[in-house]
Structure 1
Amino acid sequence: MNEIVVGYDASPDAAAALNWALDQARRDGRPVRLAYVFEWLTVAGWIGPGVTPGMWPDERARQQVEELVRKAAADAAATHPDLTVRGEVLDGPPALVLEECSSEAGLLVLGGRGHGGFAGLLAGSTAVSVTAHAHCPVVVVRRDTADRAGTGHVAVGVDGSEHSLLALGFAVEQAALRRVPLHVVRAWQPRREQWHLVGEQVRDAALAEQRAELDEPLRRWQESFPDVEVTVEIAAAAPAGLLIDASRNAQLMVVGTRGRGGLRGMLLGSVSQQLIQHAHCPVAVVRER
């Protein structure tokens, strides 16, 4: 079974990501690998533990990082003796290295903020690159959402696109694994110039059409997982706000990497950034392997 890879740099959010990954591994029996990406030099200068910008790293700095990762892996293994946990230090640009790690992983888990090699993870291009190009599902865990990771249902944003249907499959499997209900969310948006012109009858018909498009994929998954209770929410609303609001009572929000209609540009524009930064629970981003 492919392992769970955790992007780890000893930051509080990385610790939250590691805890999430360990809980997930306890559910599905996967081994866990901590990956510290050691980026020696950036435009801003050296990024590493205890080293200031402008200094060139030495072997001692590398040894400190290796000891940090070794201890984190050992502590995790001690508190989870039924799991296989290991750690390693890798060199290179974080986004590219993590994307490469994802090619052999079953799941990649990242913290929402970091230091060291993951500084500014969600402030720049790294998170967009990793979530858009990873070869496996990516879960982003912010430390302020860590307490939601064990309570509530699984929620998924579905707009009928191929990638959102992959997200639906992942979400159903997670709901079954966690033995919790699944909440399917779909945003319908008329064109901007029509927003205030859509009458109630037309709006209701459009929402019914949106619901009908979900019937077949939901039926297929419910045949495979008949014990998963499914609820559906369809609303004429902006997708980012709808998904963020839907995350309030969820333990995991799942989305695809690309979408159409209400979820178009999920990982290219503001919707994904708002969701990853403002969702009330960890967020899983799913793409085709």
Structure 2
Amino acid sequence: MLRPIVVGLDGSRESVAAADWAAREALLRGLPLHVMHAWEGLPSGEEPVSLPELAVPRCRAQRILRYAVDHLDENHPQVPVTAEQIRESPVPALLAAAKNAELLALGNQGFGGLGGLLAGSVAMAVVARARTPVVLVRAGSDAVDEHVPNGSHEASATTPYRPVVVAVDLHHACDPLLAFAFEAARHRAAPLHVVHAWRLPNTRGGTDEQGHVPTQRDAEWVLESVLEPWKDKYPQVVVHATAEHGRPVPAVSRAARYAGLLVLGREVRHGVLGSRTGHVAHMAIHQVCCPVAVVAHE
């Protein structure tokens, strides 16, 4: 059975953009799309609604789903769409839905902004806890933004896709991250840019455990050795790998400027500190313009 792409809706411009992105992604992957709206204050269908303060929110919730389905049917008629209204708090509802999804798409409001709940604190809480990849999409994000400009430097949805950029930290497991990134690049017939920011060890003399001072060539060799089996598995994907000495945040920020999709990792933590997003992903969610995919890994 095909696992759907799931998108959470709250009526904001960000969540509509996420639904459009999710529909395009579903078409690329040949998957169904499931749209959902969750709100714990929603009366159940069996309960009579007589008070205006209950009837108005219920009508709004139904309108959010109805508008989204009509919008998707009109703009993405090739994609099978199902819809669901859930009487539950958004965070646990989205996390439960994500368990059976290929990926989860949500709106992203970045800094400031007046987006809805699913583009703000709820989205951040879901990203920090979901094991399924979560893609965050900004309001105004359109199909043309995923493609390179045409010969006249004009936006076009018929030109090749912009690169998929993935940032890797070779001190952690990269397999889930690289699997998602290579698949995304394959579906788009897009080049894959792999970015690794490395720094000297925080020891006297900058040496590693063997007393060796790492060099640029060492970083490039390690990165290439990690990518080699993935290149063999995905020979159709053109890979550009960059090992850059310095801090990861500026390196990722620069690489993402011309990306159609940015893929980042989130380390799963099992201790008392709980889950966290990580400073690179936190920066990207708030500053990067293209859709950002956050992939959990051990």
Range class of TM-score, shorter chain? 0.7 to 0.9
User: Which of 149, 156, 163 lines up with 1:153 in the alignment?
Assistant: 163
CA distance in 2, matches of 1:157, 1:283: 11
1:52 matched residue in structure 2: none
1:184 matched residue in structure 2: 194
| Off by >6 Å, runs of 4+ in structure 1 | 192-195
1:1-289 pair list within 5 angstroms: 1-40=2-41, 57-113=53-109, 115-118=115-118, 121-122=119-120, 124=121, 126-143=122-139, 145-146=141-142, 148-151=145-148, 152-190=162-200, 205-258=214-267, 267-288=276-297
Structure 1 regions of 5+ residues with no counterpart?
A: 42-54, 260-264
In structure 2, relative to structure 1, the CA distance for the partners of 1:144 and 1:273 (3 Å cut) is farther
In structure 2, relative to structure 1, the CA distance for the partners of 1:148 and 1:39 (3 Å cut) is farther
Q: How many residues align?
A: 263
1:44 matched residue in structure 2: none
Answer with 74-83 or 95-104: which moved more: 74-83
CA distance in 2, matches of 1:4, 1:24: 8
Cα displacement (A) at 1:274: 0.9
Answer with 272-281 or 55-64: which moved more: 55-64
Give the secondary structure class of the aligned counterpart of 1:277.
helix
The two structures have a TM-score, normalised by structure 2, of 0.78
In structure 2, relative to structure 1, the CA distance for the partners of 1:230 and 1:116 (3 Å cut) is closer
Instruction: Report if the CA contact (8 A) 2:185-2:191 is conserved.
Output: yes
Deviations 1:100-129 (CA, angstroms, capped at 9, x unpaired): 1101111100100375543xx43x4x3333
Q: If each structure's helix is expressed as a fraction of its own residues, which one has the higher value?
A: 1
Instruction: Report if the CA contact (8 A) 1:37-1:117 is conserved.
Output: no
In structure 2, relative to structure 1, the CA distance for the partners of 1:155 and 1:136 (3 Å cut) is same
Instruction: Report if the CA contact (8 A) 2:129-2:275 is conserved.
Output: no
The two structures have a TM-score, normalised by structure 1, of 0.80
Instruction: Report if the CA contact (8 A) 1:165-1:217 is conserved.
Output: no
Instruction: Report if the CA contact (8 A) 1:2-1:30 is conserved.
Output: yes
CA distance in 2, matches of 1:281, 1:185: 16
CA distance in 2, matches of 1:190, 1:141: 35
Cα displacement (A) at 1:182: 0.4
Instruction: Report if the CA contact (8 A) 2:4-2:102 is conserved.
Output: yes
Instruction: Report if the CA contact (8 A) 1:39-1:117 is conserved.
Output: no
